[in-house]
Structure 1
Amino acid sequence: MSYKVILQDKYDLSPLVESISLRDSLEQVAYQGTVNLVVTPDLPPLSPGMAIRISGIPYGMKDYVPLLHPAVVWEVETANNGVKKMTLTLYDRTVYLDKSEEEYLFPAKQTATQRFKRYAADWNIKIAHLPDTEKQLGRSVYRTQSIYASMFADLRETAKAGGKLYHPRMLPAGLELYELGTNREVYVLETLTDTTQRRTLEGAATKVKVLATSASESGKEVPSKVMAIEEKDVAKYGQLQAIIQDDEAKSPAAARELARSKLRGVQETITVNAPDINTIRAGDAVQLGTMKLLVISVSRELGNPGSMTLELGTYDDVKRRFYLE
């Protein structure tokens, strides 16, 4: 197996490894790993909280690079059915942003970049790369919720304001705010074992109405003010109406743009199984035939060659599904 599992920067567990699987998804912040080991007398003591890393040789290369690093042992499970075995659940260190809660009150006109610097400083996380997300955000009051929930709220607001799509990643050098689809090498998926295509009207919206938050007048409830109404493909798919209550759309033009961004017809996802390309991450762009698609999730079994399952979607579908809901 051309992979290494190193514990605490000094114990090489690779000879004891039976299997390694990794999972990365836009629906979660932390890259997750599962390592199955055979327990031998020379296995060092293992406990949650220990530092660990997984390295491998990328497709078409000769040298090892970190795949899951820096990571932490999150769970240790031991079983004995005649042969003692151990299963380790690992996460990269963004897991602390997902599992920790805090309250934040941010003033208006900050960018997501500025807020990410605050999150990283508060949780003692090194920064590798934080691009300027540019879009100024409104005042935000984040009551008790996970740090990642606050981070993702900032990223969604950035996208709703017409900004780019970003996803946090942990690199050996620290936290990166990764712009989706900007990977330098876009792999062409050619050798596929199977492909599944799913198309659905679930979640579709052919008519979108943007409302200002309703208010009462003289103690009486009054209808919400309609800021904008946009329609598309009603005749084709039927009237499926979504309502957005959003005071951030200060002008009719902004409300119309927001409404248009929420119009969505058939949602399509493609799932492929293929030999593993171990450096593909969630949010990366890949080429499938004539289509350039984004990786929504990747689950992989490491090995030679190993295998991976990719869930893929178009940029617009990913934007609507994860950033505009």
Structure 2
Amino acid sequence: MSYEVVYANKYYLKHFVEEISLEDSLEEIAYRANIRLAVASDLPIITPGQEIRVSGIAYGGSQMSYLLNPGVVWECESSNNGTKHLSVTVYDRTIYLAKSEDELLLPTGQTASQRLRQYAQSWDIPIGNVPDTKIVLARSVKRSQSIFSMMMEDLKETADKGGDLYRPRMTPNGLELAKLGNNAKVWELEYVQDTTQKRTLEGAVTQVKVLGSQGGDTSLSPVLAVVKGETDKYGTLQKVLQDCKIETAQQAREAANRTLLGMQETFSVNAPDINTLRAGDRVKLNGMELFVTNVRHQLGEPGQMQLELAKEAKVRRDWCA
């Protein structure tokens, strides 16, 4: 196997490894590895909280590189059916941002980039490449919630105001912001084993009503805008928006247009593994440019991957929902 697992920065576990899978999703912050080990007398004692990393030869490359690093052992489970095995669940260290809570008051005028640096400084997390997200955010009171949910609120507000889509990623250089679809190499999925295309009106929005500040007990909220989309084609599927940050009719129309989305189309793909693909990366399938929303790599020679794909409009709408 052209993959290496290093535990506690000194134990090389390659000869114990039976299976490795890597999983990534736009709905989660942390990259996850599931590692199955054969237990032998010389296998070191593996316990949660210890450092671990997964490396491999990147698809299309020739040198060993990090696939998940820095990682932390999160869970261990042993089994014995005549042969003893150890299943190890590993997360990159952004898991601590998903599992840790705080309460913060953040002033207006900051960007998501500035706030990410503030979160990282508070939690002694090193910072890597953090591009300027540019969009100025409103004042925000972050009640008791995870640091990850605070970050996602900032990134969703950035996208909702017309900015680019970003997601946090942990790298060997520190916590970074990756722009969705900005991967340097856009892979063409040519050798696909099977593809499932799903089209549905579930989740579609063809009309948006935007309301102003809520009225009293005896009056309804004022209507700032009603924007129609593909009602003639799909019927009326209305969503009501009410956001204290929307104050004018122009802002209401812009927010409504970003919410409109017709038929939902997604793709499920099984293909030979491209082990560096991450959720948020852009790929090409049958001439279409699509975003990876979920990916599971089954590492091996040859490896396999399962992808969930969607067009940018759906990804953006779901991101802001």
Instruction: Confirm or deny a common fold (TM above 0.5).
Output: yes
Contact 2:113/2:131 (8 A) holds in 1: yes
Task: Tell me which residue corresponds to 2:313.
Answer: 316
Task: Tell me which residue corresponds to 2:116.
Answer: 116
Task: Tell me which residue corresponds to 2:196.
Answer: 196
Deviation digits for residues 239-263 of structure 1 (CA, Å, limit 9, x no counterpart) = 1110001121222111100001101
Which amino acid is 1:317 matched to?
K
Q: Could you tell me how far apart the structure 2 residues matched to 1:132 and 1:61 are? A: 30
Q: Shift of residue 124 of structure 1?
A: 1.2
Task: Tell me which residue corresponds to 2:54.
Answer: 54
Task: Tell me which residue corresponds to 2:13.
Answer: 13
Q: Is residue 212 from structure 1 mapped to residue 212 from structure 2 by the alignment?
A: yes
TM-score, length-normalised on structure 1? Answer: 0.97
Task: Tell me which residue corresponds to 1:235.
Answer: 232
Q: Is residue 278 from structure 1 mapped to residue 287 from structure 2 by the alignment?
A: no
Q: Could you tell me how far apart the structure 2 residues matched to 1:243 and 1:290 are? A: 35
Q: Is residue 150 from structure 1 mapped to residue 147 from structure 2 by the alignment?
A: no
Q: Could you tell me how far apart the structure 1 residues matched to 2:63 and 2:258 are? A: 44
Percent of counterpart pairs with the same letter? 51
Q: Shift of residue 157 of structure 1?
A: 0.4
RMSD (CA atoms):
0.8
What SS does structure 1 have at the residue aligned with 2:266?
strand
Which amino acid is 2:237 matched to?
L
- 1:262 aligns with one of 240, 252, 259: 259
Q: Shift of residue 60 of structure 1?
A: 1.7
Q: Is residue 127 from structure 1 mapped to residue 127 from structure 2 by the alignment?
A: yes
Contact 2:25/2:293 (8 A) holds in 1: yes
Task: Tell me which residue corresponds to 1:67.
Answer: 67
Q: Could you tell me how far apart the structure 2 residues matched to 1:246 and 1:292 are? A: 32
TM-score, length-normalised on structure 2? Answer: 0.99
Which amino acid is 1:37 matched to?
L
Consecutive aligned runs of 4 or more in structure 1 exceeding 2 Å deviation = none
Task: Tell me which residue corresponds to 1:300.
Answer: 297
Query: Can you give the 5+ residue segments of structure 2 that lack an aligned partner in the other structure?
Result: none
Q: Could you tell me how far apart the structure 2 residues matched to 1:91 and 1:284 are? A: 19
Which amino acid is 1:70 matched to?
P
What SS does structure 1 have at the residue aligned with 2:203?
coil
What SS does structure 2 have at the residue aligned with 1:129?
coil
Q: Shift of residue 213 of structure 1?
A: 2.5
Q: Could you tell me how far apart the structure 1 residues matched to 2:103 and 2:293 are? A: 29
Query: Can you give the 5+ residue segments of structure 1 that lack an aligned partner in the other structure?
Result: none
What SS does structure 2 have at the residue aligned with 1:221?
coil
How many residues are paired up?
321
Which amino acid is 1:12 matched to?
Y
Which amino acid is 1:58 matched to?
A
Deviation digits for residues 24-55 of structure 1 (CA, Å, limit 9, x no counterpart) = 00010000000000011111111000000000
